[in-house]
Amino acid sequence: MAAATSMAAALAASLPAPQAAPAPSAPTYEAIPASMAKVIDIEAEIPITSVQLDAIVVSKITKHAKEAPGSSAHGLLLGLDLDGTLEVWNSFALPHHSNDDDDKSAKGVARYQSSMLRSLKEVQADDSVIGFYQGMTLGSFFNQTLVDTQAIHQERLRHGGVVIVHDISQTARGNASFRAFRLTKAFLDAYKRHNFSTSSLIDHRLTFSTILEEVPLKIRTNALVSSFLGALSEATPSTTTQSSPALATSSAAIPPSYSRLNLGTGNTARNLEMVVEALDNYKTEEGNLAYLQRQIARERAKAEAYVAKRKEENATRIAAGLAPLPEEDVSRLFKIPPEPSRLESMLLLGRIDAYGKSLEETASTGLVKMYAAKANAGN
């Protein structure tokens, strides 16, 4: 026994001592220092309070919206959220697909998107999608596709995406308009349940104005761009300056424009047409809703009549001493159609409101301009 152990010991001694396998170094968790906590926000805890657009995004969206046929310009926004501000640093346009070939076009768009993101990543541009943009005319951005896309984004993206809406007609008038929106919680809740019946609307207190909430937006030009633009628009002194300083002209690369002072009627006629059209659509929609409601009421009345009749029969049978007939499940006999969704009519109302608002704005500026012109001539 002792020999065995000693032999074992000798053998063990001759073998290289098994190295204690190095314990895998436990990952050391360091807390993010407080100074950086606002910037490195891994759990997406800081809520978004404002949106910031870069100069290049402004010009890209403007260009795409102008060139796209109709009002079908839409694309994705890329950027990052920093300390409560969603910064949009780049954007790209998505090809417009017709709605005929839904399957193929959806895949085509997805392929385009992934390919573009990959390419952008290679040149060290950003590739994190934070929302999408949509171009529209005269205020008509309340439509089903916008709501659907935003709902999808809001679920999948960190912080939920924002949708930037760009008004082409207002830009053509001289005021580049960009507004950022998000779906409200109440609306998202109702949307998830796919329930837009009257009762659900009341519960969530949904009107067209509470579907989207606006997020304050500002435009940022980084230092390089602003210095470049500054160099372009600085006035080059002309020869007449020496003689009459009061008449110094600026022959800058970007001379000031006075197109806003035009006294034209602008798009008023078109705007009014669209208001009328939207009102017609709304009337049709309301008509449909009323028809469906009437049908529901009718079915319900029939079902109740049946139940009442059954009860009566049972009463007579009990009085006659026979066994009562089973009260059948009424819902199987009479199909009561479900409550109609009022989403479409809500969206139409929102559109009517938006058209009215843009009409108001053009009318108010028109008034000011007319009185200014009158003041000049009428003296």
Partner 1 sequence: MPLGPPSSAVFIQNTAPGFISTPGRPPTSVTVHPVALFSILDHYLRRTDAQERVIGTLLGTRSDNGEVEVRSAFAVLHSETEVQVAVDMEYHRTMYDLHHKVNPKEVIVGWYSTGSNLNTYSALIQNFYSQETAPHQAIHLALNTGVEEGQKAGVQAYVGSPVGVNPKPENCVFVPIPCELRFNDAERSGLDLLTSNLSDSVNATFTNPSSDLELLERSLVSVYEMLDRVLSYVQSVLSGEVKGDAAIGRYLMDALGPSTEDLERGEFNSHLQDTLTVSYLANLVRSQAEVSARLALVKAS
Please, which of residues 176-195 interact with partner 1 by CB under 8 A? Answer: 176-179
Shorter beta-carbon distance to partner 1: residue 20 or 246:
246
Tell me which residue has tokens 């314990």: 23
Shorter beta-carbon distance to partner 1: residue 37 or 253:
253
Contact 199, 179 (CB under 8 A): no
Shorter beta-carbon distance to partner 1: residue 37 or 367:
367
DSSP 127-176: --EEEEEEEESTT----HHHHHHHHHHHHHSTT--EEEEEEHHHHHHT--
Residues 325-344 that bind partner 1 (CB under 8 A): 342
CB of 297 to partner 1, least distance (A): 11
CB of 186 to partner 1, least distance (A): 12
- Stretch of residues binding partner 1 (CB under 8 A), selected from 13-21, 146-154, 304-312, 355-363: 355-363
Binding map of partner 1 across residues 116-155, x = CB under 8 A, - = no contact: x--x--xxxx------------------------------
Residues 63-122 that bind partner 1 (CB under 8 A): 63-67, 90, 93-96, 112, 115-116, 119, 122
Q: Supply the DSSP symbol for 249.
A: -
- Residue 157 burial class via C-beta count within 10 angstroms: exposed 0-12, middle 13-18, buried 19 and up: middle
Please give the span between the terminal C-alpha atoms of the chain, in angstroms, as a whole number.
129
Number of residues that bind partner 1 (CB under 8 A): 110
H/E element, 239: none
Shorter beta-carbon distance to partner 1: residue 139 or 161:
139
State how far the Cα of 266 lies from the Cα of 259, in Å rounded to an integer. Answer: 12
Contact 134, 91 (CB under 8 A): no
Structure token pair of residue 40:
């490195």
CB of 269 to partner 1, least distance (A): 10
Contact 181, 163 (CB under 8 A): yes
Shorter beta-carbon distance to partner 1: residue 25 or 239:
239
198 binds partner 1 (CB under 8 A): yes
- Stretch of residues binding partner 1 (CB under 8 A), selected from 299-307, 320-328, 333-341, 360-368: 360-368
CB of 132 to partner 1, least distance (A): 14
Structure token pair of residue 365:
């500026």
- Stretch of residues binding partner 1 (CB under 8 A), selected from 306-314, 321-329, 331-339, 364-372: 364-372
CB of 336 to partner 1, least distance (A): 17
Contact 303, 334 (CB under 8 A): yes
Shorter beta-carbon distance to partner 1: residue 222 or 295:
222
Tell me which residue has tokens 């669209």: 274
- Give the pairing of strands 212-215 and 177-183: antiparallel
324 binds partner 1 (CB under 8 A): no
Question: What are the C-alpha distances in Å from 122 to residues 92, 132, 219, 267?
Answer: 15, 22, 27, 44
Q: How far is CA 97 from the centre of its chain?
A: 19
Vertex 86, ends 84 and 90: CA angle to 5°? 160
Exactly one of 49, 59, 144, 145 binds partner 1 (CB under 8 A); which one? 59
Question: What are the C-alpha distances in Å from 342 to residues 86, 276, 283, 292, 318?
Answer: 32, 20, 13, 11, 46
Residues 216-275 that bind partner 1 (CB under 8 A): 217-233, 243-244, 246-247, 252-261, 265, 268, 272, 275
Vertex 13, ends 11 and 18: CA angle to 5°? 105
Binding map of partner 1 across residues 279-318, x = CB under 8 A, - = no contact: x---------------------------------------
CB of 377 to partner 1, least distance (A): 4
17 binds partner 1 (CB under 8 A): no
CB of 171 to partner 1, least distance (A): 5
